[in-house]
Structure formats: structure tokens, C-alpha cells
Amino acid sequence: MTEHIARAGMPEEAALLGLRETLRGEMLRPGDTEYDATRGIWNGMIDRRPSLIVRCHGVADVIAAVNFARDQGLLVAVRGGGHGVAGHAVCDGGMMIDLSSMRAVRVDPEVRRAWVQGGATWGDVDCETTVLGLATPGGLISTTGVGGLTLSGGAGWLRGTAGLCVDNVISADVVPPTAGCCEPPRQKIRTSIGLSGAAAVISALSSASSSSCDRSNRS
């Protein structure tokens, strides 16, 4: 039964080979060595089996995966940190777009802004901001994914003084189902993020950061 679910709606072999050749990252299918470990998420009660998993190494891979899923009519689940209790990061059948290899974080202390890839966790962000004496509202648990928590609003330790995670988002790189990566105008960011859970993939976010000393003095 589980094998049947995993292979339901599996695209033609030629199409799969074409996708594999396009990717810098890996494409995993049922039976591949790392398939079971990759489909697993934090909530061990979720046991879903996608037809294929695309482990993206960059935005080009995300675009290729979104294009392929649209053209093949596949259900899509997006894994960032894989920490969501409901298990939306993985699906039965369809495609799992795995961003967990995209964990880069860059911080500009002059403008107090952090750029974060879609697979980064709050631990990754904390590592890069605290060394500069900066902080941005994040989750209560360091292993939570930045993208997932931010898209759901995001309550963390600094919510009393700095608001929710989403309140501090400055920009987002969005891969819509029509593919191609775009950054919505500032006034449209909240709308784009609000729709993205069902319609697009957020490949990166940038957030405002403030002095950790300032925050501690206000609390």
C-alpha cells in the first residue's frame, strides 16, 4: 500500500531523467538510499511517501522543481526546517521540494539586515547575528525553520519588544507556480507571503535586525 502511494502519479522516466540533468542538487525516488531519511520530519507520527524528492542547492533548482511539478500536475510539499507539527513539509505521492541544503545566512551590520535562505533554521540565524551583537525575532526553538515559522506569523522570545517574525520581514524571494524568481514590491510582501503556502515557494527572506543590547534594555 505504501509503495503504491509513493509511486502514484509518477511521471514518465524520460521526464524524470530530464529533471535530474537540470538539477545541481539531488532527485530521490522510492528505493534510493537516502529517500527514507530525507522524507522524515520532526513529527515522527507523520509517515508520508512522496513520489519524488528534489533536494535543492539553489534557486535554480527550486525553479526547475516548480516548473516540473506544474507541467506534470504534481502535488507539491515544501520542506524548510521540517519542524511543523502538521507535517505539511511532506506529501503522499507528488513532489517534496526539500530546501534543507539551502541554509546560508548573511548579515549586514551597517543596515541591520539579515538575508536568510529558505532551508535555514533559527539556530543558523542566531549564529550569524549574535556574533555582531544583533538579533531578530525568531522562534522559541533553534531547530525550527525560518521560512515555516515566519509564514505562520512567528512568535518568539522577542515578540514583546520587536513583534512577530513576519513583522520584521523586509523582502522575500518568491518562486511562483509560473516559475522564475521575483521579489515583490515592499507593499505586496505580506500578500505574497500569505498566499505562498498554497501557491508558491519562498526561497529566501530578509529581515530587520536590531541590537541585542537595545532589546535587553527594553525588557
pLDDT given for residue 180 in this prediction: 58
**For the chain, how many residues are written?**
219
Query: Given a cut of 50, is residue 194 above it in pLDDT?
Result: no
Question: For the segment 90-138, what is each residue's pLDDT rounded down to a tens digit?
Answer: 999 999 999 999 999 999 999 899 999 999 999 999 999 999 999 888 8
Number of domains in the chain: 2
Residue where a domain stops, chosen among 47, 74, 98: 98
Residue 5 exposed, middle or buried by CB count within 10 Å (0-12, 13-18, 19+): middle
Count of beta carbons in the 10 Å neighbourhood of residue 19: 22
pLDDT given for residue 75 in this prediction: 92
For 76-90, letters b (16+ CB in 10 Å) and e give bbbbbbbbbeebebb
Say whether both 85 and 127 belong to one domain. Answer: no
Say whether both 112 and 163 belong to one domain. Answer: yes
- For range 161-174, the mean pLDDT: 85
Say whether both 70 and 125 belong to one domain. Answer: no
Strand order in the sheet with 201-208: 105-108, 113-117, 201-208, 169-175
Say whether both 90 and 123 belong to one domain. Answer: no
pLDDT given for residue 175 in this prediction: 87
- What amino acid is encoded at 216 in this protein? S
Query: Chain centroid to CA 128: how far?
Result: 18
Higher per-residue pLDDT: 132 or 209: 132
- For range 177-195, the mean pLDDT: 52
pTM over 0.85: no
Residue where a domain stops, chosen among 67, 98, 129: 98
Say whether both 110 and 213 belong to one domain. Answer: yes
Look up the CATH number of the domain holding residue 208: 3.30.465.10
Say whether both 28 and 12 belong to one domain. Answer: yes
Question: For the segment 139-167, what is each residue's pLDDT rounded down to a tens digit?
Answer: 888 999 998 888 888 888 888 888 888 88
Say whether both 82 and 132 belong to one domain. Answer: no
pLDDT given for residue 213 in this prediction: 43
- For range 194-213, the mean pLDDT: 61
- For range 29-56, the mean pLDDT: 94
Look up the CATH number of the domain holding residue 11: 3.30.43.10
Query: Given a cut of 50, is residue 168 above it in pLDDT?
Result: yes
Say whether both 126 and 214 belong to one domain. Answer: yes
Say whether both 80 and 117 belong to one domain. Answer: no
pLDDT given for residue 136 in this prediction: 85
What whole-number distance in Å separates Cα of residue 45 and Cα of residue 54?
Answer: 22
Say whether both 110 and 72 belong to one domain. Answer: no
Q: Report the candidate in 93, 88, 188, 95 with the shortest Cα–Cα distance to residue 147.
A: 88
Say whether both 13 and 93 belong to one domain. Answer: yes
Strand order in the sheet with 52-55: 26-28, 52-55, 95-98, 76-79
Residue where a domain stops, chosen among 98, 132, 158: 98
Range of the domain at 115: 105-218
